[in-house]
Chains A and B, each alone.
Chain A
């Protein structure tokens, strides 16, 4: 049992002051602005929004600044902030098919309606440190605007494929019921796929990456193709009671990943490609892919596949995905445990005394050490 301690107020205040100084660094160097972080650390902002489960680029950037770049700490700050706000409603389901594309690729289909658009990606860079960035980099000129160029919109690859019947369709239950919400109700097992996806969407990227990787290395049976990865802006619509209809209240940047895996079929189901789905805030490709791998791994039972591997274990995967919970429980070990420790120490002293007493006579018979 944890017994609380008191005291240390002055030392804590000093520590808070020290952390502020450490965050600021050398005062002779210009301070980072939240806007600079939002603009120039966009991938960190995306991760903090995704795992903080709150789409607000300014707050995510502020959290990154306050946490001195510790993204898990920033995620915690964002999660704490959201508890201060009331829920105004649920959005109209986001329509990723009408995304204004910044990037869209398929590793399975070469020729897609709408084409392959690389967009901003590190995929084809050589990963050589660019020392030019240590100097003030020149700004690239914008190309001349052509008024005729409209936004790039293309149908989802998985919708194009569905016609042939070789791809699993996304089933909707009768009446399209409201999904359960992990911010309102605790996780119940077994969880339906919608609940699992909410958990994975908030889950730690590194953890999901490792689990997804394990399924590829052999601790799993999935060998997926990236049917499509897309990133861009999607309209956010909300039903407004006063008006009696839904209106667009802004846009959100999303990354969507559709992985497909072949399935040989069973007595009940025909052979087809099955799907794993990943969706994340901002440009978060690694996260969306890892989420899709783990989503598919957690469906192993549906397809009669082995379910005894780590990534297939629903309870294990879902109960340990949240880095705010994980970080809290691991880091609570730093808090004073003086009473617990004293109890354990007393117990061990007694056991040790008993052990010493019962072994006192036996020392002469011991085998010599090798």
Chain B
């Protein structure tokens, strides 16, 4: 992940943070200990995002319906800016995403956040998906077409 272009790794990290269960992320952030102070550029606010889909899955776009989304932006003392946008209405979740995003731009903290937050959450997500995948795969089915009597 570290060799990737900065935008790509930032995008991946933000995705991991946003998809993590909020309590798990909160635990990881707490475990980081003392963190630098930050100022809000945008306090957490909840609004709506219109979910677009495509007709037939890949045709023209249409508006399916909205989802609640919470976003915030903050700045650390060294000038690193963190952006947090999450589906749902949990301001703490958005704040933790933004703090981790900012710390990942901060040379002093980036390594620790990667190891103690991102990597931990990625492993937890993989385990969650693997567990579910085993359950769901057990319901895979092979249907047989029966030979009819008249042949």
| Contact of B68 with A54 in the complex, beta carbons under 8 Å | yes
| Interface check A283, CB cutoff 8 A | no
Q: In angstroms, how far is the closest chain A Cβ from the Cβ of B56?
A: 4
Q: In angstroms, how far is the closest chain B Cβ from the Cβ of A362?
A: 63
- Size of chain A's interface in residues, with CB distance under 8 A? 83
CB interface residues, B 34-87, toward A, < 8 Å:
46-69, 71, 73, 81, 83, 85-87
Closest-by-CB residue of B relative to A107 is: B143
| Contact of B65 with A201 in the complex, beta carbons under 8 Å | yes
| Interface check A91, CB cutoff 8 A | yes
When A56-B68, A248-B15 are in contact, do A96 and B133 touch as well, CB less than 8 Å? no
A277 to B58, CA, bound (A): 11
| Contact of B88 with A94 in the complex, beta carbons under 8 Å | no
Interface string of B93-107 (1 = CB under 8 A from A): 000000000000000
When A54-B68, A194-B61, A250-B87 are in contact, do A142 and B49 touch as well, CB less than 8 Å? no
| Contact of B139 with A119 in the complex, beta carbons under 8 Å | yes
| Contact of B64 with A279 in the complex, beta carbons under 8 Å | yes
Closest-by-CB residue of B relative to A118 is: B139
Residues of A contacting B133 in the complex (Cβ-Cβ under 8 angstroms): 149-152
Closest-by-CB residue of A relative to B128 is: A145
- Size of chain B's interface in residues, with CB distance under 8 A? 58
When A171-B59, A179-B63, A247-B15 are in contact, do A242 and B86 touch as well, CB less than 8 Å? no
Interface string of B14-33 (1 = CB under 8 A from A): 11001100000000000000
Residues of B contacting A249 in the complex (Cβ-Cβ under 8 angstroms): 14, 18, 49, 69, 85-87
State which of A65-73, A79-87, A126-134, A315-323 sits at the interface with chain B: A79-87
| Interface check A53, CB cutoff 8 A | yes
Interface string of A134-174 (1 = CB under 8 A from B): 00000000111111111110001011000000000111110
| Interface check A197, CB cutoff 8 A | yes
Residues of A contacting B120 in the complex (Cβ-Cβ under 8 angstroms): none
| Contact of B57 with A256 in the complex, beta carbons under 8 Å | yes
| Contact of A152 with B136 in the complex, beta carbons under 8 Å | yes
Closest-by-CB residue of A relative to B46 is: A85
Among the listed A50, A243, A256, which residue makes an inter-chain contact with B65, where contact means beta carbons less than 8 Å apart? A50
| Interface check B126, CB cutoff 8 A | yes
Q: In angstroms, how far is the closest chain B Cβ from the Cβ of A203?
A: 11
Closest-by-CB residue of A relative to B84 is: A249
Closest-by-CB residue of A relative to B97 is: A249
Residues of A contacting B83 in the complex (Cβ-Cβ under 8 angstroms): 240, 242-243
A198 to B35, CA, bound (A): 45
State which of A13-21, A109-117, A324-332, A343-351 sits at the interface with chain B: A109-117
A88 to B19, CA, bound (A): 19
CB interface residues, A 91-105, toward B, < 8 Å:
91-94, 96-97, 100-103
| Interface check B92, CB cutoff 8 A | no
Residues of A contacting B142 in the complex (Cβ-Cβ under 8 angstroms): 115-116
**Chain A interface (Cβ within 8 Å of chain B)?**
49-50, 53-56, 58-59, 82, 85-94, 96-97, 100-103, 110, 115-119, 142-152, 156, 158-159, 169-173, 176, 178-179, 181-183, 193-195, 197-198, 201-202, 235-236, 238, 240, 242-243, 245-252, 256, 258, 275, 277, 279, 281
Listed by A's residue number, 11 A-B pairs whose Cβ atoms lie within 8 Å are A55-B66, A56-B88, A59-B68, A86-B47, A118-B139, A149-B133, A169-B59, A198-B64, A247-B14, A248-B18, A279-B53
